[in-house]
Amino acid sequence: MATVLSVDWGGRRHCFAAKAKTHPKPGLCLEGKHGFNTFTETVFIAMQDIPQKVTKILTEKLGIAESEITPEANFVKDLGIDSLDYAEIVMEFEQTFDIRIPDDDADKMQTFGQAVKYIEEKVKK
């Protein structure tokens, strides 16, 4: 299952899920029929890619070894992430997956597995 959305460079979003099947170039919309006339890019986020993207964020941004990352790995206890690093990865999750994570929800994501599950639920919506 993949989530399809269109993101224009102005930060506005428009869903292409229905149109993508018939649009001659689903990744581009220059027709201006969607309320804006800017170039848009279709972003596909496949559910099976979420764990790999979260792992990539942890390894690249914080230097955590991929072998240390397991579904049960606690961000603080097992991976040694401090509060500043945690705030940084939450912001990276928001940017990478185009979601918003309220502080209360961020506090509940204590393990890699919980973060992946939360992101999957947010991306589905």
Q: Alpha helix (H) ranges present in the chain? A: 50-62, 83-97, 103-108, 112-124
Catalytic residues: 82
Return the closest-CA partner of residue 73 out of 84, 89, 96: 89
**Alpha-carbon distance 110 to 90, whole Å?**
11
